[in-house]
Chains A and B, each alone.
Chain A
């Protein structure tokens, strides 16, 4: 009995060690650069792929697209040369990501660095998928580094590589602790973490500090992922997501203690292994069948993160918490009626005129825009980075299918499902209201994983891998179903239903934004202490916004359920949530127009369809890699997103037109009485202040 458990526990040492190594790297980069790098697992993943490729045939594959990325370096690579190559490659990768991505974002708000690191993660995953032979095509023989024969440890058999991995991590922890405590470099790193300005004024280069620490961190991550391969395998997506338990461990260490992070990482790995071992044991019969076993294993570290975050959380930030960073600008919606008529008109014409393929893309676009709108509300307006929106949509999607199949008529079923999503959103918001910034991003990501693993993966709820299908939506005898035979498929009438829901949602969000509710949201986003002093119940405002936004996400989920023949859990995986946040940021996270553009850019939306048409499908191949790069670029250069860039462009254009085209007298008038004349210069919609 006890022997059985200790076997499980020791088997988890390997997984725990890699989690601990990644956690060490996260703590190190956070202390040196103030950034939490969601792409950290992906960076280790790429290094490991490159290592095994090189070890096999001496080819170095670079993480680049559109240029030749394969370089043949050595005819007969050895263990030593391959490891040397991996260390150098990790160091270069760490340096490059710091210099190109995180250094420009040093002073940016948490959202920008979350988005940039998501972009990096997306890019690395895609580039590995594109450049390395994976899956069934994998021809690379992965030669492990460490001996794998079993040894006796504490009376239990365990493979040597697991123990050696632990030794590696413990040595790394001791070395880092010593580096920080006893060296001048460590002192300088701690100083730069405290005050960048002070560091510069005494002659410490923050760039040097950030660069060297990023290199060290990436080397640790790279080596750890290489060493774990024989135990856990290597996969672009699952390996990248190792960053989640690592974040849990790093957070338990307060993002500053190496020792606690390592212990927590090892603990999480052993706990996961124990849970898995316990739940699959035949004698464990008390857990009902519908509980997904692997889900339980994945969810535990996540629940730990949540507890740690809420434990450390605080209802209001203290005096030292300074928000001097610029958030994406959120302009008051203008010319709402005009825009509504134009867009609804154009979409209606398109629904009636397009062929089936384009109709499908348009419907996908609208549903995605609705999901993006929910992100605009919670993240753009209230500043709460939520990565759980897609999970809310999933809850609503499967709920509507289940209750409709139980006999509830269409609109009632849809309402019930939306309500359920709203309630789940509020339940998530209750603890989330106590944390902010990067911690909230991690907390909601943890929630999303918990929902995915425990609820959406549950056979009883979602039908498991096979998925479930919704009955046709019928309202007052009219069939709103999407499917039909042949060219009539993707029926326009379903498109109009989606258009109606999207239009009403956008209008309501526009109203909220213009009224006091929206002002309160922006006030909370801007400064929570000041908001409380202005009489705003900050917690309740956040919960209210979570309710509105999860309600919209629920609507998107319902429409998604009715728009696919079979809804499966795959539509709601965490990676999809990351992409959704990323695309919304790309569009413009704090404006309704940004949500609409995000819809256009969505996978299988209008943009990819048109781009594929123009490039014979090649654009589709690179779309994720390119949008990953686009995200990084946007986070650095244009935090207001595409809509912000367009708005600025229009303002410039308008200014130069005014300067050139009008007598100076009028320019002076327009300057003096800014906004006094409604309807003056009704031309371009942007850039004109609107008034009562």
Chain B
């Protein structure tokens, strides 16, 4: 087993009176794709929000490490500091910068600013070509749309831009929130190919989705959330046959209706 880069221990998040995430613990290893699945409202997005620093954990024992990344505690870091350490995330609703072209959407995320950069930017008239940006554009096949604004792209292309913006900062860990929401089946197949290529590029992935076929098809390890707690963990094969999972997620008697979806995942 390769080195663990993200360690989550006993993480809880409370919204108002609702415990959205309850003592969740799991690891993500280097070059691993970990899936987080569960019915709607199970706390998947909350988990991503907490990991990326957009939501504060509810229990805060200062001496306890809730989230460790590359061996250090990141509990008190702001979202942008976590990005600088090697985090990247996408949003369920994409949240692209609609005023910027596709290339500029990526350029924004490509480099971290310094205090000096404002001054140099003011004096430097030419924009530099950024190798990382061009590389990601090519990887995702977005080069021909690079000067278009996101609103002119198809839904599938917009999803790619969102993933591209997360990849361009060369993250160690990519948190994907429902990347397949609203994609058609062929686009989902393309997405899963892309995801499987990421570990080779040194990127670990935490994938949240409720498309079972996608998650079970690409992940090395899957955790199932229900009502804020992890109710099952294991390889896709184990999860597929776990009775707890079937009753929580698929509902009983998940016969003809759900079989095709699972089948599609294994064949692709």
User: A518-B121, A533-B88, A548-B118 are known contacts. Are A316 and B99 too (CB-CB below 8 A)?
Assistant: no
Mask: chain B, 99-122; 1 = CB below 8 Å from A; 0 = not:
110001001111111000110011
Is A327 in contact with chain B by the CB < 8 A criterion? yes
Q: Choose, from B21-29, B61-69, B89-97, the stretch at the interface.
A: B89-97
Kindly list chain B residues whose C-beta atoms are within 8 Å of the C-beta of A533. 52, 54, 79, 83, 88-91, 95, 166
Taken together as a complex, chains A and B put the C-alpha atoms of A514 and B99 apart, in Å, by 14
A621 contacts chain B at the CB level, 8 A cutoff: no
Min distance, Cβ A382 to any Cβ of chain B, angstroms: 12
Is the CB–CB distance between A530 and B100 below 8 Å? no
Contacts of A523 in B (CB 8 A): 97, 100, 108
Contact (A675, B88) CB under 8 Å given A515-B124, A527-B95: no
Most buried by A among B49, B97, B169: B97
- Closest Cβ–Cβ distance, residue A527 to chain B (whole Å): 5
Check B78 for interface membership: any CB of A closer than 8 A.
yes
Q: Which of B99, B108, B147 contacts A674 (CB 8 A)?
A: B147
Q: A516-B117, A529-B91, A536-B108 are in contact. Are A511 and B123 (CB under 8 A)?
A: yes
- Taken together as a complex, chains A and B put the C-alpha atoms of A531 and B107 apart, in Å, by 12
B165 touches A519 (CB 8 A): no
Secondary structure call for the A interface = helix
A537, CB-defined interface residue at 8 Å: yes
Within 8 Å by CB of B54, from A326, A529, A675, A692, lies A529
User: A330 near B99 (CB under 8 angstroms)?
Assistant: yes
Contact A529–B129 (Cβ < 8 Å): no
Whether B169 lies near A316 (C-beta < 8 A) is no
Q: Is B135 an interface residue (CB 8 A)?
A: no
B100/A522 in contact, CB under 8 A: yes
B158 CB, min distance to chain A CBs, angstroms: 13
Q: Binary interface profile of B, 37-52, with partner A (CB < 8 Å = 1, else 0)?
A: 0000000000001001
A514 and B121 alpha carbons, distance in the complex (Å)? 8
Contacts of B78 in A (CB 8 A): 532, 537
B54 touches A522 (CB 8 A): no
Of A510, A518, A530, most buried by chain B (CB within 10 Å of CB) is A530
Which residues 525-568 of A sit at the B interface, judged by CB distance below 8 A? 525-527, 529-538, 541, 544, 548
A330 to B98, CA, bound (A): 11
Q: Contacts A330-B99, A526-B100 known; A535 to B124 CB distance under 8 Å?
A: no
A519 near B107 with CB under 8 A, answer: yes
B73 at the interface (CB under 8 A from A): no
Q: Is the CB of B95 within 8 A of A529?
A: yes
Q: Using A511-B123, A518-B121, A674-B147 as known contacts, say yes or no to A535 and B95 having CB atoms under 8 A apart.
A: no
Q: What residues on A are CB-neighbors of B83 within 8 Å?
A: 532-535
CA distance A301 to B98 in the complex (A): 38
Chain B residue numbers with a CB within 8 Å of A674 are 147
A142 shortest CB reach to chain B, Å:
51
Q: How many residues of A contact B (CB 8 A)?
A: 43
Task: Say how far B78's CB is from chain A's closest CB, in angstroms.
Answer: 7
Q: How far is the CA of A535 from the CA of B166 in the complex (A)?
A: 10
Is A534 touching B109 in the complex (CB atoms < 8 A)? Answer: yes
Q: How far is the CA of A535 from the CA of B86 in the complex (A)?
A: 10
Tell yes or no: A329 within 8 A of B by CB. Answer: yes
Known contacts A523-B100, A529-B54; A536 and B127 CB within 8 A of each other: no
Question: Is B80 on the interface with A (CB-CB < 8 A)?
Answer: yes
Interface assignment of B84: CB less than 8 Å from any CB of chain A: yes
Query: Which residues of chain B come closer than 8 Å to A529, judged between CB atoms?
Result: 54, 91, 95
Residues facing A in B148-175 (CB within 8 A) are 165-166, 169
Contact with B along A466-509 (1 / 0, CB 8 A): 00000000000000000000000000000000000000000111
**Chain B: CB-nearest residue to A510:** B125
B80 in complex: contacting residue of A511, A532, A689, CB < 8 Å:
A532
Q: How far does the alpha carbon of A537 sit from the alpha carbon of B52 in the complex, in Å?
A: 14
List the A side residues contacting B111 at CB < 8 Å: 516
Residues of A within 8 A of B169 (CB): 534-535
Q: A516, B95: Cβ atoms under 8 Å?
A: no
B108 touches A544 (CB 8 A): no
In the bound complex, residues from chain A placing their C-beta under 8 Å from that of B100 are 519, 522-523, 526
- A527 and B97 contacting across the interface, CB-CB below 8 Å: yes
CA distance A618 to B181 in the complex (A): 61
**Interface pair B108/A512, CB less than 8 Å apart:** no
Residues of B within 8 A of A319 (CB): 49
Name the distance in Å between A293's Cβ and chain B's nearest Cβ: 41
A520 CB-CB contact with B under 8 Å? yes
Report the separation of the CA atoms of residues A98 and B174 in the bound assembly, to the nearest whole angstrom: 48
> Among the listed A336, A534, A548, which residue makes an inter-chain contact with B108, where contact means beta carbons less than 8 Å apart?
A534
Q: Is B80 a contact of A536 with CB atoms below 8 Å? A: yes
**Bound complex: CA of A675 vs CA of B144, how far in Å?**
11
A443 vs B113: C-alpha distance in the bound complex, in angstroms? 28
Q: What residues on B are CB-neighbors of A336 within 8 Å?
A: 125
The reply on A238 being an interface residue by CB < 8 A is no
Q: Which residues of B contact A541 (CB under 8 A)?
A: 113
B84 CB contact (under 8 Å) in A516, A520, A535, A548: A535
Residues of A within 8 A of B108 (CB): 516, 519-520, 523, 531, 534, 536
Contact at B54–A316, with CB atoms within 8 Å?
yes
Complex contact B54–A535 (CB within 8 A): no
Known: A516-B113, A535-B80. A508 touches B122 (CB 8 A): yes
Tell me, in angstroms, the Cα distance from A375 to B49 when the chains sit together: 34
Q: Is A76 an interface residue (CB 8 A)?
A: no
- Whether A517 and B117, one on each chain, are in contact in the complex, defined by CB atoms closer than 8 angstroms, is yes
Closest to A530 in B: B95
Given contacts A533-B89, A535-B169, contact A526 B97 (CB under 8 A): yes
B90 CB to closest chain A CB (Å) equals: 8
Most buried by B among A516, A536, A538: A516
Contacts A330-B99, A519-B100, A523-B97 known; A532 to B122 CB distance under 8 Å?
no
Chain A residue with minimal CB distance to B49?
A: A319
Nearest chain-B residue to A529 (Cβ)?
A: B95
CA distance A326 to B97 in the complex (A): 11
Chain B residue contacts of A515, Cβ below 8 A: 121, 124, 127
Please give me the residue from chain A that is nearest to B111 by CB atom.
A516
User: Roughly how many angstroms separate A67 CA and B124 CA in the complex, as a whole number?
Assistant: 54
Inter-chain contacts of A507 with B (CB < 8 A): 125
The contact string, 1 if C-beta is below 8 Å from chain B, for chain A 652-692, is 00000000000000000000001100000000000001011
Cross-chain pairs A/B with CB under 8 angstroms, 19 sampled: A514-B125, A515-B127, A516-B117, A522-B99, A522-B100, A523-B97, A523-B108, A526-B99, A530-B91, A530-B95, A533-B79, A533-B88, A535-B83, A535-B112, A535-B169, A536-B108, A538-B80, A548-B122, A692-B127
**Which chain A residues have a beta carbon within 8 Å of chain B's beta carbons?**
316, 319, 326-327, 329-330, 336, 507-512, 514-520, 522-523, 525-527, 529-538, 541, 544, 548, 674-675, 689, 691-692
New A-B pairs, 4, CB < 8 Å, besides A530-B96, A532-B80? A516-B111, A522-B97, A533-B95, A691-B147
